[in-house]
């Protein structure tokens, strides 16, 4: 979960930059969206791993 915290931190930083840099706002928002998607992917990966472990324990 530390990785998720790092990813969300990067997303937040990009959103802050978007708010402060009006000339490159679109760029920073696009970067924030990429980090948001990485966070969602990380969450999905974590739950898949947990479900696999749970299935293995149940089957044993």
Q: What does the pLDDT look like over 19-45, one tens digit per residue?
A: 999 999 999 999 999 999 999 999 999
CA distance 32 to 49: 26
Contact between residue 3 and residue 40 where contact means Cβ atoms under 8 Å apart: no
DSSP 5: H
The pTM assigned to this predicted structure is: 0.80
Return the residue matching tokens 């990009």. Answer: 14
Q: Name the pLDDT band for 60 (thresholds 50, 70, 90).
A: low
Number of DSSP helices (H) and strands (E) in the chain, helices first: 2, 0
CA distance 39 to 32: 10
DSSP 24: G
């Amino acid at each position: 979960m530390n990785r998720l915290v790092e990813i969300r931190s990067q997303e937040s930083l990009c959103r802050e930059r978007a708010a402060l840099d009006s000339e490159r706002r679109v760029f920073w928002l696009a970067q924030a969206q990429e980090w948001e998607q990485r966070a969602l992917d990380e969450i999905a990966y974590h739950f898949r791993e947990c479900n696999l472990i749970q299935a293995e324990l149940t089957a044993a």
